[in-house]
Structure 1
């Protein structure tokens, strides 16, 4: 196909507010290098990493507030030094967007010709070896991502997919569902486990509900009550975001006052209440803190209850290929909240940070 020399892209020019996102129609189209492919992007999903990176929220200089608050003026210089998920500086300008779906239109040297013309998803974690342990980066963070007409990716990260879902529906999966599946894998969730899921209405939370049920475990979601009706089709017991008595609420919902696992993406002030409902030897796994990163822990709760805590960030390579299989077999369903055209990415992010939606928001290139 005829590939233009320039393309549309939304470019992040530095840390800060939405004014740091610049919509361009003259950005150079990337060229695939050896072992890479060029993908014409059709849709790209939003996720918390976009916001956290833009606002420098990952920096240790940020020690209060929610994920949307990010850096304060007095800490900006310090924050910029470790403002990525991996604790390093981000190189600007950067095209974000970890969750593109599109069609392979050109190949670098050594890329298999069988990829040409295929609809693909991109594995979000970038690793230079098959074990997934070397030179780790994140698509749209350590390299340019999918908020553009075209993007390049290493062949090892490209996964062809054949299914009836739309491009926008497919773009809801990558980051949210890989994060959720990695959390459940790290915590060893198995058949019969009761799993309390905070932030159940978001992308990761709604993914956790589906993937927990897929394992034969019992998901229990927490969300503001005005979102319960929209979440009802997922078939999960639902609790208020801040129940008056969590143990009583659990007893009424699932017939027991404790859970085996807490899968948390929220953190913040309610954290202590959640930890207190873990069964002895229960597991707590965290992969986000949208309500605030700093929590207070009574160490007696941890050691007297023999609790086990897990952090979950870097996903093993099999997680993504398994996810593609779940999608093609129809074992998980997309939860598409709304689509926006690329030029309206800032409006999409405004809706995203307001947290009034259910599921995932996607930008499209049409």
Structure 2
């Protein structure tokens, strides 16, 4: 039985945590042609949720995420404060991670899909006609998983057959597709890879996924999290504030997978070998960095900015899950109604792995 209204968290505008409004009277969406309605079982918390809320993607913001993570920024330009550069419309149900069960289907979708346990590709291509380097982010350009129900394109809603629980599956879409997208773009193989922010959701995913590709993984994280990151498969762990050139030597790294940026950024290029590759999908320590262009061209480096994901990235993730080749770390779960507390804990960066929200469950 599908109710007419649902519990959901609506983002009412750019700003602090107070802009998140937990409601019990939000209309349940109706799937359109080619779409499915998903009863959400769990939804992960990610940097993108916070960055979108605070308007961090606006070029008017130059500080790190945590500076405005709880209270927002005063210098946000609403016109460019989203992934795509297209202004958000409010209220918006965020949540880039969706794990749940197909509850209903729209026209053109096989009713046999009802009941499937699914995850949704977070970088949606259906709505932009599969044009290269364009996508909608679920929870940004369209409503996402911080609710009891959400809709998604059937073509980008993947059934998964595994023995994981719903919470574990909810830790996959955003973090693991971001990490796999970076590794795919940089063509990572059996070589030496440096991963920054290695204890977070994307960083911990990158460690596992790089090891799966046969890489020797050096991870940067807080010392208190070193053992947990080693348990993920890292071959060596360094303090995130280490002098990288002193510890590793110039030209010692084949690929840098960076989620942090900030003041340490120039040293990441210093430790890359000639012909090395750098891939980034985040800048939690600050987006404004200084580059010596001579380092870039004299060492024949390649820099990859990684947002768009080819179809094979998410398809491969489902295969890795079903083959038992990866498994996420879930640090803690919260009821959806406690999203403010969950985001406050997320901002402390004291956890390893993912935080996951669980909406009130509706009888199937």
Normalised by the shorter chain, which TM-score bucket? over 0.9
Name the counterpart of 2:107.
Answer: 109
Question: Aligned match of 1:265 in 255, 259, 263?
Answer: 259
Map 1:1-366 → 2, pairs under 5 A = 2-66=1-65, 68-69=67-68, 72-73=73-74, 75-76=75-76, 79-128=77-126, 131=130, 133=132, 136-191=135-190, 193-236=191-234, 237-243=236-242, 245-250=243-248, 258-366=252-360
**Structure 2, unpaired ranges of 5+:** none
Q: Encode CA deviations 1:242-276: one digit per residue, 9 max, x unaligned.
A: 11x3234236xxxx961001110000011112211
Q: Encode CA deviations 1:89-138: one digit per residue, 9 max, x unaligned.
A: 10000000011111111111111122111100001111137856386211
Task: Say if 1:101 and 1:343 are closer, same or farther in 2 by CA, change over 3 A.
Answer: same
Distance 1:134 1:106 in 2: 30
Q: Which runs of 4+ in 1 moved over 4 A?
A: 129-132
Confirm or deny: 8 A CA contact 1:282 1:307 kept in the other structure. yes
Distance 1:179 1:134 in 2: 14
Q: Secondary structure at the match of 2:65?
A: coil
Task: Say if 1:172 and 1:250 are closer, same or farther in 2 by CA, change over 3 A.
Answer: same
Confirm or deny: 8 A CA contact 1:223 1:241 kept in the other structure. yes
Distance 1:119 1:181 in 2: 22
Distance 1:116 1:150 in 2: 14
Distance 1:216 1:326 in 2: 14
**Structure 1, unpaired ranges of 5+:** none
Distance 2:171 2:64 in 1: 27
Q: Encode CA deviations 1:22-67: one digit per residue, 9 max, x unaligned.
A: 0001111111111111110000011111011000000111123335
Distance 1:171 1:23 in 2: 20
Q: Encode CA deviations 1:275-309: one digit per residue, 9 max, x unaligned.
A: 11110111111110000000011111111111111
Distance 1:65 1:3 in 2: 42
Confirm or deny: 8 A CA contact 1:17 1:55 kept in the other structure. yes
Q: Encode CA deviations 1:156-187: one digit per residue, 9 max, x unaligned.
A: 11101111100001111111110001101111
1:234 Cα deviation from its structure 2 partner:
1.4
TM-score by length of 1: 0.94
Confirm or deny: 8 A CA contact 1:12 1:95 kept in the other structure. yes
Q: Encode CA deviations 1:296-347: one digit per residue, 9 max, x unaligned.
A: 1111111111111110001111111110110111100111010000000111
1:69 Cα deviation from its structure 2 partner:
2.0
What is the RMSD of the two structures over their aligned residues, measured on CA atoms?
A: 1.6
Distance 1:134 1:326 in 2: 24
Confirm or deny: 8 A CA contact 1:40 1:102 kept in the other structure. yes
Q: Secondary structure at the match of 2:141?
A: coil
Task: Say if 1:330 and 1:286 are closer, same or farther in 2 by CA, change over 3 A.
Answer: same
